[in-house]
Structure 1
């Protein structure tokens, strides 16, 4: 085989292909190549190409000399681009992590949406079934005891089968929880008393005044003075409830004051939970706390129900009162199950979102319950009554938004 040697004359000119004379003064800068031949064939190579005589080529490896005096380094091997590889690996890992975060956040959002939907749905059915029972069975204390009893059974099942970890409770913890259980019991009892006297929509319109009691009690017992924004948000709440009360078709004072008492006791529970449960080592999660309060509420209220209303939940008594035993029993059970379910889901949501978000969700829940109860029970609502209810609920929503505004610290 013949081997050819190439020459470069200039980086910007192409050499002529015509034959040249041997005496030409043109200087050729040879390209020195390392031949792929065997060692026996290596040596001085002399060949002619188009009448051009090339000098012998020494044994070098891919070095280039040109007339521009810009030598290039030897190309011995392909350099490894390890930094680029590392960057590509890191970029791929970051992209994978980002995709995992996006999928995880999407799953959490869907889970939170399902919890909010269950919270609203259980609350709607609780109010409907509870109102149906209280319309024909006028013993609100006994109805409240049945709800706590069903909740106690559910908690016992949950702890027995390790569906939720059973806590270890000390005597000091029970003593701290007892005041919370007392006001929790009274709050639910007063709510049932109000639902037995007035329409569901009116009870929940009055219960929209919970922020007012929260601000007053926090200022009295915790020293938390409200901001101007919070005080301003209370004005439409009070005004809207007053307007709705004046125009309410089912209004009576017993239903009004028991709903107000429910606001007072429920917000007292929140204040006590801040004031009493202060030791971190004694703290427990919200679901465990609610479960313990449910059991204690049943123990506290059961003897009171027997003392105040007697044993009025037997089938014999229900039949003697002309009630359908099966229908009352099923609706009472469903109301109790929905009562415990929506309370549990509410605490589950509270563990996942901020108190402000939970408060906004509670405001929306109240709107949903009022509208659904008006539609289901065909409650007569005048335009002014609807306006008052809307103003009160708008005030509650405004309160939940401005609650996050912190007062400016006074400079020394």
Structure 2
């Protein structure tokens, strides 16, 4: 009972942090149109939180070798790009639409796993991709905030994040074959720190230091308000991902996937309410079809796992 209660609290925190990240991050990006700077701040805050967890002993600090860092580097690169693209999309289109597009993650997961891991999905899994793709297509065709930059950025984030997941799986397999063990939480922390280092020079060269109070005032913005919202969004950003990894260590990947599907529904509904996003009947139907496909995908994967067991 106590373990179930703890897991329930974790799921609640996962959803809470994700909802508030999307709301506050969108509020910042609507006024402060520098997605790389926002992403870099999120990585820096995440790095500080990870260091705090290690220094206080809340989670054991890993011993990282040079070989491991070189292996993790591709993961950090795609992680950096994926988060930048997500923020680009959130700045260009409605939060609800970005998350509808990101419902395409199972499609990219099946394609990437087949291409790089040789894991060919069974026909039942492939069939569940049809409503996902069809639903996203219908939602995109009827989306009031649609623009190609936001759409392509969200699709690109799907591709990069699924590449990261595939590379993570290969990395963990490598560690199981004789390398030093690095759990999911520490792996994410190291990736976050590396991403902060990788993105900093790029963000400064392309966008400059736009968080300076004088720059914000020149844009007609209240520096104090932007700082508060951006920092809170950054804390929520790292927190929801850390909690997600903690949940993944306690439940099966399929259960985690179902939880992620429900989380996406909650985020879409909450963002529509907060931002009063106009949703047409066809747009809502397309989103519902896509999310139903994601749920069906999770269920088919769960049943396939039971048969193997």
SS, match of residue 138 in structure 2: helix
Structure 1 segment 146-295 matched on structure 2, within 5 A: 146-277=41-172, 278-280=174-176, 281-295=179-193
In structure 2, what is the equivalent of residue 329 of structure 1? 227
- Provide the rounded CA distance (Å) in 2 between the counterparts of 1:257 and 1:370: 19
Higher relative contact order (Cα pairs below 8 Å, separated by 6+ residues): 2
In structure 1, what is the equivalent of residue 258 of structure 2? 360
- Provide the rounded CA distance (Å) in 2 between the counterparts of 1:405 and 1:218: 19
In structure 1, what is the equivalent of residue 245 of structure 2? 347
Pairwise CA distance, 1:405: 4.1
Cα RMSD, aligned residues only = 1.2
Q: Deviations over 1:152-205 (max 9, x none)?
A: 111122222222211111111111111111111111110000000000000000
User: Greater shift after overlay, 186-195 or 162-171?
Assistant: 162-171
- Provide the rounded CA distance (Å) in 1 between the counterparts of 2:42 and 2:251: 27
SS, match of residue 223 in structure 1: coil
- Provide the rounded CA distance (Å) in 2 between the counterparts of 1:257 and 1:215: 19
- Provide the rounded CA distance (Å) in 1 between the counterparts of 2:254 and 2:209: 43
| 1:140 aligns with one of 35, 38, 44 | 35
SS, match of residue 283 in structure 1: coil
- Provide the rounded CA distance (Å) in 2 between the counterparts of 1:355 and 1:107: 21
- Provide the rounded CA distance (Å) in 1 between the counterparts of 2:202 and 2:290: 35
**TM (normalized to structure 2)?**
0.96
**Quick check: which one's helix share is greater?**
2
Pairwise CA distance, 1:313: 1.0
In structure 2, what is the equivalent of residue 16 of structure 1? none
- Provide the rounded CA distance (Å) in 1 between the counterparts of 2:58 and 2:120: 42
Given that residues 89 and 98 in structure 2 are in contact (C-alpha distance below 8 angstroms), is that contact kept between their aligned partners in structure 1?
yes
Q: Deviations over 1:338-386 (max 9, x none)?
A: 0011001000000000000000000000000000000000000001100
Pairwise CA distance, 1:283: 2.6
- Provide the rounded CA distance (Å) in 1 between the counterparts of 2:304 and 2:262: 24
- Provide the rounded CA distance (Å) in 2 between the counterparts of 1:221 and 1:301: 26
SS, match of residue 302 in structure 2: coil
Bigger Cα Rg:
1
Runs of 5+ unmatched residues, structure 2: none
In structure 2, what is the equivalent of residue 79 of structure 1? none
| 1:129 aligns with one of 24, 28, 40 | 24
**TM (normalized to structure 1)?**
0.72
SS, match of residue 404 in structure 1: helix
